[in-house]
A = this chain, B = another copy of it.
């Protein structure tokens, strides 16, 4: 598990006084980026070095309690499943220990022309073992 902190700005909220529902997918992305960075990888290298992309094929969000302006949020990201040509990340967003939002995203592994590819073992070796120990 890798944790990231985010501060909610006015631009994240809507007139209901809470974070707009689409913006939690932005927060998930920020968590995913930090997960990959924490494993010693850079998402931009997936493209530039490995010639791969991980487009989202499915996203799910469960909203339990709203985040508000100026909240300091903690995004916890886990790699919860890796298959031959796809990966699944799980997310939990908390504020001071309270669980606000959970969700997951599923990503395909494709080359730059969009063809499905097996996830390279060099990447899997980086992403998986550390995860098993600290999950």
Which residues on A are within 8 Å of B, measured CB to CB? 7, 9-11, 13-18, 20-23, 25-26, 29-30, 33, 42-44, 53, 55-63, 66, 68-70, 105
Residue of B nearest to A34 (CB): B7
Q: Smallest CB–CB gap between A106 and chain B, Å?
A: 9
Give A44 to B87 CA distance when docked, in angstroms: 33
A55 CB contacts on chain B under 8 angstroms: 16, 18, 63, 66
- Known contacts A22-B26, A59-B63; 5 additional CB pairs below 8 A are A11-B14, A11-B22, A22-B25, A33-B70, A55-B63
Check if A11 sits within 8 Å of B16, measured CB to CB. no
Q: Smallest CB–CB gap between A57 and chain B, Å?
A: 5
